[in-house]
Amino acid sequence: MKTVSVIIPVYNMENYLEECLNSVISQTLNDFEIICINDGSTDSSLRILQKYAENNEYITVINQTNQGVSAARNAGLLSAKSDYVCFMDPDDFYPDEDVLKDLYNAAKAHNALICGGSFSRYNDKTKEKTVQFDGFYQKYTFSEDDLVSYENYQYDYGYHRFLYSLHLLKRENIEFPPYKRFQDPPFFVRAMIAAKEFYALKRVVYCYRIGHQSVKWNEEKLAAFINGVSDNLKISSEKHLNDLHAVTVQRIIEQKRAFEANQIVELSDEVKSSFFKMLLYIRMDMLKSSTYNIDMNQLLKVLKVGVKSDTYKKELEDWKYQYCCVKNSKTFRVGEAVLYIPKKIYYFFKR
């Protein structure tokens, strides 16, 4: 059995692929494998992968028609023959050659089903690296090496910087959902909840490249984002993870552009229904009980971007009013005044 499988889905990344692969093949960990899935690339990505595979026997190349990044990663999971797996995007890279060795050794030493380290952002335009984060991104990094309970961590981003027990993923049937956007957080959260705890390393173990491409939103991607957010809203509610619930709501606020590009009232009935189901999953009692401060005015502004009708806006204002009533209520108690968006909104938009 291999120590670690590094799974890399590839679609049209010829400009960055060699830097990515070089950072992986230079790793000092013994007996690991690299699984690259070419997801129907139309550039020279497949040729680059084949060249590297010819010179490195531990590189496996899977060639498939374009099915999306989730299908590619899941194909990698099926092919993996290792103790642990990790995932890398083909435009990212490891900061040094000892990343996998340090993660694997820490995981084995502490019998951890999941082991990860700190995250960094690399700006492709300025060549600057960010290793300090605050606010809703402060959990990208760890302040010390230690065993961490997910009940205390409750985060959803940065799944690339972790090793996952392959046995755990298979036992719990955890894979990436078939979404075009926001497929990583549901996978990450499910794995963390299954493991219950993980071992954290303070050191930076992953460089995430930004500034070289932009996301173009369309109805399909918005629908995928809605589905992914809904998954995490539901599981955070089921597991009583208040901070995770709040962070997930914050992700809606952060995606203003998605709603600007797609007016909800002009979407298909299926997507429209999913959108308002997502709102029904938001638990106001959990937001109030979390350690984060969610700006409900900003959330409403984002939602209104895609809702142009004055009647629809009134329904959202009703939601805000009821939220404020609960928030300021002297009799508010968790479990007693759980507030969802009124169901009349959902049925109103289904008409």
Element (H, E) at 348: helix 343-350
3-state secondary structure of 4: strand
Is the same domain home to 146 and 246? no
Is the same domain home to 174 and 302? no
Instruction: For residue 18, give both structure tokens.
Output: 């060699």
CA–CA separation, 190 vs 333, rounded Å? 28
Is the same domain home to 176 and 263? no
Is the same domain home to 184 and 226? no
pLDDT of residue 272: 79
The domain boundary, picked from 156, 181, 210, lies at: 210
Element (H, E) at 71: helix 69-79
Is the same domain home to 204 and 233? no
Is the same domain home to 67 and 161? yes
Is the same domain home to 232 and 173? no
pLDDT of residue 274: 85
The domain boundary, picked from 176, 210, 244, lies at: 210
Residue spans of beta strands (DSSP E) within the chain: 2-10, 33-39, 59-64, 82-87, 114-123, 129-130, 146-149, 162-165, 197-210
Is the same domain home to 152 and 229? no
Name the residue range of residue 311's domain.
219-350
With tokens 């959202």, the residue in question is: 316
CA atoms within 13 A on the CB side of 166: 21
CA–CA separation, 20 vs 337, rounded Å? 50
- Give 146-189 as a DSSP string: EEEEHHHH---S-GGGEEEEHHHHHHTT----S-SSS-HHHHHH
Instruction: For residue 59, give both structure tokens.
Output: 């590189």
CATH code of the domain covering residue 130 = 3.90.550.10
**Cα 217 to the chain's mean position, in Å?**
17
For the chain, how many structural domains are there in total? 2
Instruction: For residue 33, give both structure tokens.
Output: 């494998």
Is the same domain home to 119 and 155? yes
Is the same domain home to 61 and 120? yes
* Cβ–Cβ under 8 Å, residues 211 and 128: no
Contacts of 221 by beta carbon, 8 Å cutoff, 6+ apart: 180, 181, 215, 258
pLDDT of residue 262: 65
Compute CA distances 164 → 77, 143, 153, 272, 293, whole Å: 11, 21, 17, 35, 31
CA–CA separation, 227 vs 258, rounded Å? 14
pLDDT of residue 341: 46
Is the same domain home to 180 and 309? no
Is the same domain home to 203 and 230? no
> Which residue from 37, 120, 47, 53 is spatially nearest to 85, judged by alpha carbons?
37
Instruction: For residue 220, give both structure tokens.
Output: 């399909």
The domain boundary, picked from 159, 180, 210, lies at: 210
Q: In a structure prediction context, what are the per-residue pLDDT tens digits for the chain, which is 351 residues long?
A: 999 999 999 999 999 999 999 999 999 999 999 999 999 999 999 999 999 999 999 999 999 999 999 999 999 999 999 999 999 999 999 999 999 999 999 999 999 999 999 999 999 899 899 999 999 999 999 999 999 999 999 999 999 999 999 999 999 999 999 999 999 999 999 999 999 999 999 999 999 999 887 777 888 888 999 999 999 999 999 999 999 999 999 999 888 767 776 666 577 888 878 887 888 899 988 999 999 998 888 887 777 665 555 545 555 666 555 555 555 554 444 333 334 444 444 444 444
- In this structure, what is the dihedral angle of CA atoms 284, 177, 141, 11, given to the nearest 10 degrees? -140
> Which residue from 176, 26, 188, 201 is spatially nearest to 119, judged by alpha carbons?
201
